[in-house]
Amino acid sequence: MFRKTKIQLVLLFTLVFFLILSILGISLYLYMHKVSFNTIDDKLRHKERFLLHNTNDEFTDENERESERKVSYLFWGKDGKILFSDPKNAFFKNEISSLTPKIKDKKIRTQTVNGHSYRILTHPIQGHELKSYPAAGYVQLVYNIDPEVSVLQKLLILIGVGCAFGLLLSFFVGLFLANRALIPIERSWEKQAQFVGDASHELRTPLAVIQTHIELLFRHPANTIEQESTTIFKGLAEVKRLSRLVEDLLTLARADSNEQLINPELFLIDGLLRNIVEQFEPIADIKGIKIEKDIEDNILYFGDKARIHQLVVILLDNALKYTKPNGQLLITSKKDGSGLRINIEDTGSGIPVKDLPFIFDRFYRSDKDRTKETGGTGLGLSIAKWIAEAHGGQISAESRLNEGSRFTIKLPIKNHLPKLT
């Protein structure tokens, strides 16, 4: 699925790494080149000044050490012929001709002669300088730069090897990073695909039932609505189930797309809980189940009232659904440190240990056969979990098979809430 993206990412990572490495390498080389040539050029200019302002025939500076590499001087006549050089045998005859100065020569240039590299400063003799060197047209100061060139060459090879090695390394680093970057995307993609698959599967069942019931009506077209009321009722019940399912799916799909679904307001949590319990009491009575409550008064909470209502209804609905007659429900709500803790306990069927870690997953229903008769879609708890988390809280469950379950919601009470005066 993500093969193409992975290849593109690897190529991109490799290219970026390689570019960074190459730029670093080239900058290092250019810097070293500049530094070593600047030092040489400074030396040549210094010698040039010394030569032209020194009236003796002595070229060498007294301050210069004997061990230093020497600058050679070449004096050229106006006709372009060599006049003399210092030292005398600085170059072989055949080498000398290739050094002949030309007008378009740069002031300082690099030239290779017989496999040796030289930095050459060319100075045309003019004006008062002619007094000292009347026959000369040009003077050249020549400095052997073989050591610098050799160091730079080695550096270049080193950078080249480094870049080649870097390219290989960048490829593997790129592969590693691309894999890492794609893991969460692949996971959520798989989850989403699973969700769509499960949803379609769940939608198919009620649709098939509705279709069957409508077809049943056509078998006896002369029958009255009253005579067919059972069939119509069953069909309608499925339509209701279908709309509930679609509603739940829509909520989760919107939650996935990070839509703003939470509209917070300030409200009393105890009031909301008492209202919900009141709504549930008649149903509980019919089932012979007692609802106990232990609700702390006057707890102000800033959150989406409708969503918190939905969350508590999901849990109470489950508690009622999975508890047999003569059972008991207990709903407690307390301030707990800087947060709020709501517990919903029942003495119902409980949840097998193997199912407990998955009950908040979408479409997960423990013991499918048993839960089929109770109706439901397996989406309730995943919506509950989303609501708790969207409020910065969490939800957890403890349960013992055949003894009962306890669901705990912890919600932080944010302290930047407007205070009631």
Ligand X SMILES: Nc1ncnc2c1ncn2[C@@H]1O[C@H](COP(=O)(O)OP(=O)(O)O)[C@@H](O)[C@H]1O
- Whether the CB-CB separation of 371 and 351 falls below 8 Å is answered with no
Q: Which two tokens stand for residue 39?
A: 């030092």
- Residue 131's Cβ-count burial label (10 Å; 0-12, 13-18, 19+) is exposed
* Cα 319 to the center of its chain, rounded Å: 41
**Does the protein bind ligand X through residue 359 (CB under 6 A)?**
yes
Choose which of 174, 303, 380, 393 interacts with ligand X (CB under 6 A): 380
Which span (97-105, 108-116, 313-321, 330-338) binds ligand X, by CB under 6 A?
313-321
Q: Which two tokens stand for residue 319?
A: 């508690």
If contact means CB under 5 to 8 A according to the sort of partner, which of Mg ion, ligand X, none does residue 351 touch?
ligand X
Closest listed residue to residue 43, CA positions, set 30, 56, 61, 29: 61
Residue nearest to ligand X (CB): 376
Which span (122-130, 166-174, 177-185, 342-350) binds ligand X, by CB under 6 A?
342-350
If contact means CB under 5 to 8 A according to the sort of partner, which of ligand X, Mg ion, none does residue 346 touch?
ligand X
**Least distance (Å) from ligand X to the CB of residue 248?**
9
Element containing residue 283 per DSSP (H, E):
helix 269-287
Which residues from 391-410 bind ligand X, rule CB under 6 A?
A: 405
Radius of gyration of the chain from Cα atoms?
45
- Angle, helices 3-53 vs 146-219, to 10°: value is 160
Element containing residue 150 per DSSP (H, E):
helix 146-219
Give the 3-state DSSP-derived string for 71-127, with helices as H, strands as E and coil as C. EEEEEEECCCCEEEEECCCCCCHHHHHHHCCCCCCCCEEEEEECCEEEEEEEEECCC
C-alpha span between 16 and 334 (Å, rounded): 55
Element containing residue 274 per DSSP (H, E):
helix 269-287
If contact means CB under 5 to 8 A according to the sort of partner, which of Mg ion, ligand X, none does residue 322 touch?
ligand X
- Residue 247's Cβ-count burial label (10 Å; 0-12, 13-18, 19+) is exposed
Which span (35-43, 103-111, 176-184, 313-321) binds Mg ion, by CB under 5 A?
313-321
Choose which of 378, 385, 388, 395 interacts with ligand X (CB under 6 A): 378
Choose which of 14, 231, 318, 347 interacts with ligand X (CB under 6 A): 318
Which span (76-84, 156-164, 225-233, 363-371) binds ligand X, by CB under 6 A?
363-371
**Does the protein bind Mg ion through residue 310 (CB under 5 A)?**
no
**Does the protein bind ligand X through residue 289 (CB under 6 A)?**
no
Nearer to Mg ion among residue 37 and residue 363 (C-beta): 363
**Does the protein bind ligand X through residue 377 (CB under 6 A)?**
yes
Choose which of 120, 299, 351, 411 interacts with ligand X (CB under 6 A): 351
**Does the protein bind ligand X through residue 385 (CB under 6 A)?**
no
**Does the protein bind ligand X through residue 251 (CB under 6 A)?**
no
Q: Which two tokens stand for residue 228?
A: 């067919």
What SS3 class is residue 345? strand
Which span (62-70, 176-184, 310-318, 324-332) binds Mg ion, by CB under 5 A?
310-318
**Least distance (Å) from ligand X to the CB of residue 209?**
17
Which span (48-56, 60-68, 314-322, 331-339) binds ligand X, by CB under 6 A?
314-322
Choose which of 289, 348, 391, 408 interacts with ligand X (CB under 6 A): 348
Choose which of 170, 318, 323, 333 interacts with Mg ion (CB under 5 A): 318
**Least distance (Å) from Mg ion to the CB of residue 215?**
30
Which residues from 54-93 bind Mg ion, rule CB under 5 A?
A: none
C-alpha span between 172 and 14 (Å, rounded): 8
If contact means CB under 5 to 8 A according to the sort of partner, which of ligand X, Mg ion, none does residue 303 touch?
none
Choose which of 269, 319, 395, 409 interacts with ligand X (CB under 6 A): 319
**Does the protein bind ligand X through residue 365 (CB under 6 A)?**
yes
C-alpha span between 199 and 186 (Å, rounded): 20
**Does the protein bind ligand X through residue 366 (CB under 6 A)?**
yes
- Whether the CB-CB separation of 391 and 311 falls below 8 Å is answered with no
DSSP per-residue codes, 21-72: HHHHHHHHHHHHHHHHHHHHHHHHHHHHHHHHH--SS--S-TTS-TTSPPEE
Residues that bind Mg ion (CB under 5 A): 318, 376, 380
Binding site for ligand X (CB under 6 A): 314, 318-319, 322, 346, 348-351, 359, 364-366, 371, 376-381, 405
